[in-house]
Amino acid sequence: VRALAGAPRVALALPLPDDADAPAALRAVAEGALLGGYRFAGYKTRPQPARRQPVAEVLVAVPDAGDAGAQAEIARAQVVGGAVRRTRDWVNTAPNELRPPSFADSVADAAREAGLAVEVLDEAALAAGGYGGIIAVGQGSEAPPRLVKLSYTPAGGGNGKRVALVGKGITFDTGGISIKPAQGMWEMKSDMGGAAAVAATMLAVAALKPSVAVTAYLPMAENMPSGRSYRPGDVISMYNGKKVEVLNTDAEGRMILADAMARACEDGCDYLFETSTLTGGQVVALGKRIAGVMGTPELCERVRAAGDAVGEPTWPMPLPDDVRKGMDSDVADISQVNAGMDRAGHMLQGGVFLREFVTPEVTWAHIDIAGPSYHSGEPTGYWTKGGTGVPVRTLLQLVEDVAANG
């Protein structure tokens, strides 16, 4: 479909297996066409040649056009593909146009239109509510932070289970006072990929209507250096009351996520799935295609199975005790990073820190998508250059699995 750019309409007539695998094959064809044919509209002022315009309409030929199962698969693929494309659009938007307030407004408007319940906390509400991590990270920017909560309630109450989704929404990450190197910093516009994926997942949930309650928490901030920025050495009081010693302001994602995860646990949930472009250590350990997953072992395995089913692979990683021991602080409850290990086990340090903000009764999983959420190379498979939309389809698979199996 991508190779057929310039054609306004394309028909796909492919043989499907005549067995139980047919629905999955049809779903793959439809989702592949929607995702592989994506192109970000961009900001070019000169009209692009017609031959480069992406395919506008795709028709899929099946043996029986009236088959309800085939129609359902196509309808679902449109919802899922639309959610992934929405994620990519948010990630690919220039960071000067998607700062925390405008990102929150965009998500809130889309969610209300989809029929979701929406709550947006501005900087005053965050300060009054004790969201110290979100406030600390966001205070260095002229664009103040936000926390967006989206809620879906199934008809009849569903199966009684409650799923919480949390996504990191750093709309641009300079590293703050611990500033990043200039090379490649422009890709830090994608540091809100987790929040974008969770927001788009909720839009798909609203359309697919699974029989399980789902609530999303999207902390949003811009990590900038200024006279108001938080500093290495600061001690921050988090939403759950824990005191955190800051050692590196570039480890900002875990600060805003910790507040959101603590709020999710306070509101009540059975399963908590959090996803974020958290650490460069994920790319070092697992590369650009495979996300790392940490948390409750049985739920990590469930995440791995879901990712394999939809083509978004993950790999379970440990949360070692020695990593946590090195995060003991002389002046606070926990240090933000393990100073003794420096970059060693960096992905694991992020997971160990986040575990401190999950209550014991909640089954949880942290999905580090630092590599898979953004593709800087040429298009490959159903990935195009820029935001990939990972892990929208994994999260949807997990929500539907919980709806079906508890």
Positions marked active-site? 180, 254
Give me the residues paired with residue 272 across strands: 164, 364
Helix, strand, coil content of the chain in percent (nearest 5): 40, 20, 40
∠ CA 293-371-289, rounded to 5°: 80
d(CA 76, CA 58): 15
What tokens appear for 368 in the block?
């580090």
d(CA 58, CA 287): 33
Is residue 179 packed enough to be buried (19+ CB in 10 Å), middle (13-18) or exposed (0-12)? Answer: middle
**Using an 8 Å Cβ cutoff, are 96 and 139 in contact?**
no
DSSP string, 8-23: SEEEE-----SSTTHH
